[in-house]
Structure 1
Amino acid sequence: MTTTIEDAPAQTRPVSLWRNRAFNLLWVSQCLSDLGTAMSNLALPLLVLYLTGSAAQAGLVGTAGLLVTLVCRLPAGVLADRFDRRRLMIVCDAVRIVGYAALAGAVLAGVANLAMILTLAVLGAVANAVFSTAEHAAVRNLVPAVQLSTAVARNEARAYGTQLGGPPLGGLLFGLGRSLPFLGNALSYLLSLVAVLFIREPMQQPREQAPQSGGAAVAEGVRFVLANPFLRALVLIAAPLNMAFTGMIFAITVSLERVGTSAFLVGLATTIFGLGGFLGAFAAPWVQRWLRLPTLVVVLCWATAGLIAVSSLFATSVLAAVPLAAAVFLGPTANAVLFGYQAAITPDRLQGRVVSVIFLAATSAAALAPGLAGLLLTRFSGTTTMLVFAALVAVSAVAATVSTGIRSMRTEP
């Protein structure tokens, strides 16, 4: 299959992304949405623990949200390609505003219960999946093709920033008042909705074909990914990388706790991981200028495999976080290059479905990582467990090295 870039926005000298009003509004909207999601991911289990005292029931809420997100990935892609993406995002924000405001009221009234919290976790997961898929699919229509990788890098910085700031903010608000995180969530989604309302530019191209049934639409997206050499390689690269990073963080945390490391230092290691990705997102545009796209992807994958292997040598020390943070530092550049190129070569009518297929593969692998790490740690040392994840990244590196889809990447549209 020949890779082409279809109907990408073209400008001889595109304005800076910092002056692109539509993209900045979309970026702010997703930033607020991500912040609310990060806060709720911490606050909902805390509320369950407060109400029931059961860690198992608190875990049930988190697991339900994760499973629902995975189940909704492919349908979300169909919705993002079939309906107006701006309206989808508005509906998602409205659902979350009502849900979290209602939960805050229930907490204040003393009537909140597990069923209510679980229902909100499920509804929130559905809205998050649809909103994020629509947002990713919309970027291509708001940003010139030559700036897509830079736009993805900006989005990576947003994701890491909200993950660093959201949980502490949620915990702080929960400590001040148990309803406050949910009021804060509702406010973040309200501001997100307002930002989307101010976007005047269309987020999708006109649809010329009649809508397909849900199953046929999903099948078309899957076929498109499997038929395209670059997109096949992207799945083979993204899934092991996501599994390895998630598994490494879990393995380092458990290894540190086994040797009696203080909770503060364990938390510091986690912060170092996130900070590495946050800084890497800002550095991504400069890193991309050093090497041709295919070479850049291959070098990043092999460097990540090597850094994870180095991290395994310090399995019982906080120092393990340093080489892993260096590997995470490279992640945003890889995502910017790969997903920016994906957005450029995928027809707009398939953007949502292609993104959802790739996200499903990557997030499913990441979801399995803690379980795999746990099984390995019960039989082997932390060093051996981490080397297994280094080997997984080596699979990505091999795929990048031999893939015709990666070698055919072009710098210019």
Structure 2
Amino acid sequence: MTAPIDHPSLWRNRDFNVFWLGQALSVLGGSISLLALPLLVYDATGSLVQMGLITVISGVGAITTGLFAGYVVDRTDRRRLMITCDLVRALLLGAVPFIWLAGPRIWVLYVLTALVTALKTLFDVAYVTAVPNLVRAEDLIAANGRLTAAFAFGTLCGPAAAGFIAAGVGPDWALGVDGATFLVSAASLRWVTFGRQGAGGSPAAEPGASGAGRLREMFAEGFRFLWAHSLLRPLTVLLTLLTFVTMGATDLLVFRIQNDLRLGAATVGYVIAVSGLGVVAAAFAAAPLRRTFGFGACWLGSTALIGVSVAGIGVSRSLPVIAVLAAVFMFGLTLGAVCSLTLRQEVTPDPLLGRVTSAFWTVHNASGPVGAAALTVLAARHGVPVVSVAAGVFCLAIVGAGLLTPLRGSRAGGAPARDAARGAFSGPRRSSRR
């Protein structure tokens, strides 16, 4: 077995800090697209259903790519893969404003969404596997908190920037700005050295295994690990249900502000920027909250916050109240995400982390496109308030179901759990492939 890398403390860890700063700017661009893309669709079509269709395509693309993303990540050089994904995304997004000069081409956005989503899924799986190879085990949740704080920075500033750019020169140019940030991310990754375990590149498949059969087996390995783990199993099931009602939340928020309240794109940008304060708060609160209350209480509590905020956004007509509830929504979403991400990194052996991450995302994201389509169609027919309240009640029902699982009293996590999982993984099936 390869000896672990002895990383310096977090603030003196050059590789992590370069990685962190590069991703901070990349996330800023991604947050611009988060608002610019639905605005561009709405400007071109005026349809909530078309906005929902873009979300559906994104979700389907993530699910489809997730079937093989872990296989690719665990068998290739992870840094090289991430750089390639950044460069291709920069090219695709940078082309949008020039294509739009000839007039709106909604089909271009459908194709672009599918391709960028596939690249993003590959990048994100590699990103998750990279972090444990850049920091010490005891720094893992703090590192995820800092990376989430970078996401918060983007969430805070990106939508406001997108609103200004969209109001000034159009949302197509906002997507072009996002493309430029991926160039910076690719350049920063050239300066980062992952630990030896983070290089990727698993041994070749056993003789006789077909490509498709081996691909299914590699995905199944990640899923089997998820299903055998006492916490990851109920977490995956409950998060699948939660994703059903949250993937279309941004579409409902944009439609609520622009259609129901008759306010402009800049206002949407301000509201989403305010919601970034929730991400900032959760990024810094995740580590102390988890140490104090444990994983289960933090994840279930975050889901309760999501439910309350979704319902409140749908029924309130006060813009300040909607902005505050959007921040609460993002606090809950971020707290749950940081805790879930760190748990997987702690309990999963590095050679399997790409496949486990890919399987986890693919399974729980499978419900997202269906949920986004259902929520947007129902909201267009019955109104955002009714659908939002129903979604909030559904989230609280998920909390109730979670209280009946091992998540209720879980304080799991930490290096010992990861060491135990590594030992369990080093059985016959692993050794036969080394």
Aligned to 2:403, the other structure's residue is in SS state helix
Q: Give the gaps of 5 or more residues in structure 2.
A: 207-213, 416-434
> Compared with structure 1, are the counterparts of its residues 375 and 7 closer, same or farther at alpha carbon in structure 2 (3 Å cutoff)?
farther
The answer for the alignment partner of 1:3 in structure 2 is none
Partner of 1:184: 177
Distance in structure 2 (CA, Å) of the matches to 1:116 and 1:252? 24
Pair 1:163–1:208, CA change in 2 (3 A): closer
Q: Is the 1:41–1:62 Cα contact (8 Å) retained in structure 2? A: no
Letter of the 1:218 partner, please give it.
Answer: F
Say whether residues 1:80 and 2:81 are aligned partners.
no
329-338 or 113-122, larger mean C-alpha shift: 113-122
What amino acid is aligned across from residue 163 of structure 1 in structure 2?
T
Report the 3-state secondary structure (helix = DSSP H, G, I; strand = E; otherwise coil) of the residue aligned with 2:221: helix
Give the Å deviation of 1:325: 3.0
Distance change in 2, residues 1:44/1:10 (3 Å): closer
For 2:218 and 2:105, locate their aligned partners in 1 and report how far apart those are by CA, in whole Å.
38
Matches of residues 382-393 of structure 1 in structure 2 within 5 Å?
Answer: 384-393=386-395
Give the equivalent residue in structure 2 for 1:219.
Answer: 220
Report if aligned partners of 2:57, 2:369 keep a CA contact under 8 Å in 1.
no
Q: Deviation digits for residues 281-330 of structure 1, max 9, x if unmatched?
A: 2332333343233344344444554x348727954444255345334323
Distance in 2 between residues matched to 1:154 and 1:180, nearest whole Å: 29
Give me the whole-angstrom Cα distance separating, in 1, the residues matched to 2:158 and 2:238: 28
For 1:130, give the aligned amino acid: L
Distance 1:299 1:355, change over 3 A: same
* Per-residue deviation, 1:86: 0.7
Matches within 5 A, 1:387-406: 387-404=389-406
Rounded to whole Å, the distance in 1 between the matches of 2:42 and 2:164 is 16
Shift of residue 229, structure 1, vs aligned partner: 1.8
Q: How does 1:278-317 map to 2 (within 5 A)?
A: 278-302=280-304, 304-305=306-307, 307-308=308-309, 311=312, 314-317=315-318
After TM superposition, list the pairs within 5 Å mapping 1:32-181 onto structure 2: 32-40=25-33, 54=45, 59=51, 64-101=57-94, 119-170=111-162, 172-173=164-165, 175-176=168-169, 181=174
Q: Aligned partners of 1:328 and 1:283: how far apart in 2?
A: 13
Q: CA deviation at 1:182?
A: 5.7
Judging changes above 3 Å, is the alpha-carbon distance between structure 1 residues 44 and 403 closer, same or farther for their aligned structure 2 residues? closer
2-structure distance, mates of 1:54, 1:18: 48
| Gapped regions of structure 1 (runs ≥ 5) | 1-5
Q: Is the CA contact 1:153–1:333 (under 8 Å) kept in the aligned structure 2? A: no
- For normalisation by structure 1, the TM-score amounts to 0.79
Q: Secondary structure at the match of 1:291?
A: helix
Q: 2: CA distance between counterparts of 1:265 and 1:226? A: 43
- TM-score (normalised: structure 2): 0.75
Preserved contact between residue 315 and residue 382 of structure 1 (Cα < 8 Å): no
Q: Aligned letter for 1:195?
A: S
Matching of residue 228 in structure 1 with residue 229 in structure 2: yes
Q: Is the aligned partner of 1:194 residue 2:195?
A: no
1:221 to partner: Cα distance: 1.4
Aligned residues of 2:156 and 2:272 also touching (Cα < 8 A): no
- 2:20 aligned with 1:18: no
C-alpha distance in structure 2 between counterparts of 1:101 and 1:262, whole Å: 29
Q: Which residue identity does 1:70 align to in structure 2?
A: I
RMSD value, Cα: 4.0
Q: Aligned residues, how many? A: 402
Match of 1:333 in 2: 335
Identity among equivalent pairs (%): 26
Residues 103 and 112 of structure 1 are in contact (CA less than 8 Å); yes or no, is this contact kept in structure 2?
no
For residue 130 of structure 1, report the CA deviation from its aligned partner. 1.0
Cα deviation code 1:147-173 (max 9, x no counterpart): 222222223333343234334434544
Amino acid at match of 2:339: V
